[in-house]
Structures are given as C-alpha cells and as structure tokens.
Amino acid sequence: MADPLNAAALLGAVADSGALLDGIFKQPGISDLLEIVNFVLLAIGTVWLTYNFLAATVQSAWDGEFLGKRFHSVWAPIRLTIGFAALLPMFDSWCGAQVIMYQVAKMGAGAANIAVAGAAPKLAKNEIIPTGFDRTGMATQLFNTLLCRARVGILAQQSGELESAGGGGGTNWTEYYGIERCGGQPVVPAGDLQAAHTSATQAMITNLTPLAGRVAAGQEGRGPIVPAEEVRATIIKAAEAYEASIAEAARSLASSKVSSLNAEQAKGSWLTFGFQSVKSAKAQSDLNSSAGGGAQLTANTNTSSAGQEAASYSGSLMESDGLTGAQASGEGAGSGEGYWAMFKKLKDNPALLLKMLFGNTKAAQITAGGGLVQSLAALGASLIGMGVTGIGVILGALVFLSFGSALAAGAIPLALYVAGLAMSIIVPMILMGITLAVYVPMIPALFWTLGVVAWMLVVAECILLAPVWALAHLEAEGEGMGQRTEKGYAMLLDLLLRPLALVFGFAIATAVLNAGWMIFIAAVGGALNVADTSWSFIKFFMWIGLIFVIVTIAVQIIGIVYRKALDLPDQIVTWIGSSSVASYMGDHATKDPNDSLRGAGRGGGRPPSKGSQGGGDTPAPAPAAPAPAAPASGGGK
C-alpha cells in the first residue's frame, strides 16, 4: 500500500527543490528587500484596520448599535483576524502569508517529486537504440593483411627450401621477409565494448586466415585456385558475423544504460525530469561511438624488398580479381570491394561514387523502436558518421592520387572537382545530423527549463505579494473571505499544482509524440532504407530529400507539442475562473517568432487595423453611413 499523501509527506519529498528555493529567497539581499516590503505593508494594514474600526465606531451612532452593522457579520471578525495575523512577522521577518505561500510551493514540489519517482518512469521510458555498422571494409582490409602474411610465409618457405637444397646455412627467412609488418596487428580502441570488439576481431581473423592461405597457395601452384566469388562471399560472411556479435553486445549495453537512466530518474528530483531527452541522447552517442569503434588496421610498413614484393603481389592479386586495393580498403566498401577496384569501375557506373562515400547507409535509417527524440538522435549520429567517413574517403583518394598514381597529373583536377561536389552533399548531411543528434534532444530540455523558470517566477510573485493578499482580508464589508482575496487563493492552488502539471504535461507530450511517430514509421519508414538498393543517384537524392523533410518537420512538431505542454500549468487558474496568474515564459514560448516582425502594425495588443502601415494608434473606424429614409406614407401627401 502506498504511503499516505499528507502535508508532512509532501514537505518531506521536497528534496533539492527546497534547497533551490531557499537559495533564491533566503539569501541576505532578497530577505532584506522582503523585510522592507513586509514592514511597509504591515504599516498600511495597521492604518487600514484602524480606519475601519474608527469608521465603524462613527457608524455606531447612525446604526444604533456598537461598531455598526458591518462588524456584526460573522465573517467580519474572522476575516480581519486572519488578515492582520497574516501580516505579522513570523520567521526570518517573513509574514504569515509569505510563510503559507512558501510552504505550499514546497508541498507542490514534493508532490511532483513523488510523481516522478513513482509514475513518471513508467510513462516516459528512456530508450537507447543500437545502430548497425557495415564491417565489410574492415574485413576486406584484414583479409588483405592476412593474404600478405600468407604470401610472405610461402616466399619464406620457398627460400628455405632452396637454401636447404643448396646447402646454405641458417637464414631466418620469415624474419627477413617481415611477416609481422604486413599491415600490423589489429588494435581495438578503449571503450565500453572493447572486449566485444577484441573477441569479434579474433573470430574474424580465425575465419579469414584459412581462406588467405588457400588463395596464396593457389597462386603459387600449391593448391587449387580459389574463385573470386568465394573470396568475396567469405569476406561478407565474416563481416556479418562481426556485426552480429557487436550488435548483441550493444543491445546488452543499451539495456544497462537504460536501467541506469531510469534508476537515476526515479531517485532524482522533478527539476531534472525534462532533461531525460538530453541524457538519453548522450547515452545514445556513447553507445554509437563504442559500437562503431572497430579494430584499427595499420598499413604495410615492411621496408625490405621481399616484404614489399609480398605486399605488392597480394595487392595486385586482389586488384585483378576485383576484391580490394593494395592495403587501401577501409570502412564503407559495402560489398567486399575495395576503393581502388571501385575507382576503376566508376566510368561504367558513376553511382559507385555514392557507395564509396556513403557505404554505411544501413546505419542511417529510421528505427522503428524507441521514441521520436531517441530515434532521430540515432539517425543524426549515423548521418554525422557517414559524413565523416565520406570526408575520409575523399582525403584518402586525393592522397593516393597525389603520391601513388601515375595518373596523378590528369586525375587530380577531376578528383578535386568531384570532391567539391561531394562536399556540397556531405556538409549539409553533417549539419542535418548535428540538428537531429544535438538540437532535437535539446528542444524538450529547453521548454522544460522555461517551465521551471516560470514556476520560480510564480513563487517569487506569490511571496512578494502575499502581504497584499493578507491586506485584502482587512475588508469590513462582504461575506466569506471577501471578493479581493480570491486571487490569492487561486495563487495557492497554482503553487500546489504547477509542478505536477508540468511533469504531467511533459509526460503526455512525450507519449503523444511517440504515438504519432509510430504512425509515421508505419507509413513512410521503409522509404528511408536505401541500404539494399542498386545505388542510383535518383534514389540517393530522394533519400537526402526525405531526411531534410524529416529534420524540418520533426523540429516543428516537437517544438509545438512541448510548447503546448508548457501551457498546461497556466490553465490551472483559468479553470477555476481566475486570471490572476501571469503566464511568464508561456507567453513568450508559445508566441510565433514572426509576431515580433508584425508588431509594427499593432497597437496595445489589438489586431492591426485594415490598411494601417505604421506603428501608431489604430485609427477610429469611419462612421457608418446613415440608413436610407423610409418613403412617406399616405400616397405622398
């Protein structure tokens, strides 16, 4: 059974909200200002109460009874006693009305903390979406390294056999050929998934080493020739096994991060509830970095003639079979082909340039799982990764053409032109990725911050004007607590419910966005998957256009929904028939930014008059034309 929700429980759950309020309103400067305000209003209240008693005494002679008829109402002494008592200093020079307002504000914060700890984690679940990566380029480069080593081993074996047949003595041909320098050992960067990457890399080496040995042996007549199709299929299979292993580890890591975020949210304050999108996006970015940080392979550094011969031989072999370039392939080669092999095919299929630059589009697709903000953040991170990879491919191609190609003189101008065109695509892609991965998760946090600031301003208004509310009770006439006091009681209700309404509004906004996101994904989500297409320019630019549309619409929709969530707390006093509470941030957050440009045609908040061109007063409407005179009766007599 849940603990009873009483005043003590609400005040006990105030957590860091109480420290925040104390730090604002009980600092020396603010306390001194409030003390002066309270003293002035107490003096005014004393004068006003004295005047009421004096007027009632004078009225006694007219009414024929002591203090007149006004003070014979049962509510008059109750109202006057409560009002004057609320003006008297109680704690730290605060009057009773201020103490009441302040404690109610803390109770509202405590109620919001209880809601966040109990219900909110179930309403707004954190989700982190693992992103897939194409590992075929890494598998191709690793196979190239293993093939170089296999070729060095065969050369060493042949040299050793020749030396033994000739009776030569004791040369370590393996060391001479430099087998350990054929691309170097794979290095796995540190990270949350380092162990998974290390294990997957070792499994990939185990799967590709026999194939590399068979290919090298076949070229030396020591075994059958291995078909290029088999080599390519084996490389792709090894890459898929690597990605499957990392994806499983990434899902486990994502689940762990989600549990940590939910636990942190349950133990945290309501003040941080609206920042979960930023925390989820940060966890999403960390997960993508860990999942994408595969083994790094170094190029062939062997400087011996035999080692260079082995590396060059393996490179020329792979080029002739259309498998890879000589130690030049990297991430993004989507089907086991290296960049050099695809460079040679560009004249027949120019769309291969897209494959070289954006080979990892499998990762950059809309994910069906997760909420809207998390899905867009994952898509944005993938777009940034694709853009960075594309820049790396361009730089690598320019370096290769400058230092490693006999066609450099004629190829570099064309390469620079193509690089300029590619950068005109890559830069907007990176900017859209930054918008989705960084700005979109900040939108809910921005509006949440505005809502919290509005709450603090409402608390400040209540504390400052609480003595005025107490002063309004010193009204001799009327029933109940008086007509002028109802606004103060509306403020009490607003203080109690505003934090809860803010939490509820943002939870509902998140649920509405996610529901709309599911509908959108069911309708057009498949249109963004170009990973298995034939790499045509038309499909690619359609994909870029869809991404641009999604960025534009997502920013607008998320902003609109969370602006409406920010409006919800301001509706509390409206529903009880009062308009005393200023909307503060809500007035500005829900305002169309273009209204500031239209303000020249407005005067005092009125709609612009027809035909008005300036910022002056709205001209008075022209008088209506007089109605036509009725025809005279009596036949014109």
430 within some domain: yes
Burial grade of 606 (CB within 10 A; 0-12, 13-18, 19 or more)? exposed
What pLDDT does residue 239 have?
85
List the one residue out of 265, 262, 321, 230 whose CA is nearest residue 116.
265
Contact between residue 336 and residue 323 where contact means Cβ atoms under 8 Å apart: yes
Asked if residue 149 and residue 114 are part of one domain, the reply reads no
90 within some domain: no
Alpha carbons 514 and 371: distance in angstroms, whole number: 5
Beta carbons within 10 angstroms of residue 58's beta carbon? 11
What pLDDT does residue 84 have?
80
61 within some domain: no
How many independent structural domains does the chain possess? 2
Last residue of some domain: 576, 594, 612? 594
List the one residue out of 570, 249, 280 whose CA is nearest residue 438.
280
pLDDT, one tens digit per residue, over 111-164 is 888 888 777 556 555 566 666 666 777 787 788 778 877 877 777 666 655 555
75 within some domain: no
562 within some domain: yes
List the one residue out of 473, 562, 465 whose CA is nearest residue 510.
562
87 within some domain: no
What pLDDT does residue 117 have?
78
Inter-helix orientation angle 228-267/276-292, to 10°: 150
Of 64-68, 104-108, 110-114, 223-227, the least confident? 64-68
The terminus-to-terminus CA distance of the chain in angstroms comes to 94
What pLDDT does residue 600 have?
38
Alpha carbons 144 and 231: distance in angstroms, whole number: 11
Contact between residue 380 and residue 438 where contact means Cβ atoms under 8 Å apart: yes
Asked if residue 306 and residue 404 are part of one domain, the reply reads no
Asked if residue 219 and residue 339 are part of one domain, the reply reads yes
pLDDT, one tens digit per residue, over 327-357 is 333 333 333 344 555 555 555 555 556 666 6
What pLDDT does residue 318 have?
42
225 within some domain: yes
Last residue of some domain: 322, 345, 368? 345
pLDDT, one tens digit per residue, over 185-225 is 676 767 778 788 888 888 888 888 888 888 888 876 777 88
Q: Provide the percentage of residues in the chain whose pLDDT is more than 90.
A: 0
Beta carbons within 10 angstroms of residue 133's beta carbon? 25
Q: Which residue has the higher pLDDT, 366 or 522?
A: 522
Phi-psi region of 577 (alpha: psi -120 to 50; beta: other; left: phi over 0): left
CA angle centred on 272, ends 278 and 107, rounded to 5°? 160
List the one residue out of 4, 3, 21 whose CA is nearest residue 103.
21
Asked if residue 310 and residue 432 are part of one domain, the reply reads no
Asked if residue 576 and residue 445 are part of one domain, the reply reads yes
Asked if residue 394 and residue 335 are part of one domain, the reply reads no
Q: Which residue has the higher pLDDT, 464 or 90?
A: 464
List the one residue out of 11, 34, 308, 4 whose CA is nearest residue 152.
308
Asked if residue 586 and residue 459 are part of one domain, the reply reads yes
Alpha carbons 497 and 111: distance in angstroms, whole number: 8
The boundaries of the domain holding residue 439 are: 1-25+96-118+349-594
What pLDDT does residue 172 have?
52
For 146-170, give one letter per residue: b (16+ CB within 10 A) or e.
Answer: bbbbbbbbbbbeebbeeeeeeeeee
Concatenated DSSP letters of 318-369:
HHHTTS--TT---TT-TTS--HHHHHHHTTT-TTHHHHHHSTTTTTSS--SS
Is the pLDDT confidence value at 508 over 70?
A: yes
Asked if residue 258 and residue 221 are part of one domain, the reply reads yes
Asked if residue 419 and residue 325 are part of one domain, the reply reads no
Task: Please give the average per-residue pLDDT across 285-291, as a whole number.
Answer: 74
Q: Which residue has the higher pLDDT, 228 or 319?
A: 228
628 within some domain: no
Asked if residue 275 and residue 408 are part of one domain, the reply reads no
pLDDT, one tens digit per residue, over 384-405 is 878 887 887 777 777 666 665 5
Asked if residue 449 and residue 329 are part of one domain, the reply reads no
Contact between residue 556 and residue 370 where contact means Cβ atoms under 8 Å apart: no
Asked if residue 384 and residue 287 are part of one domain, the reply reads no
Last residue of some domain: 345, 374, 393? 345
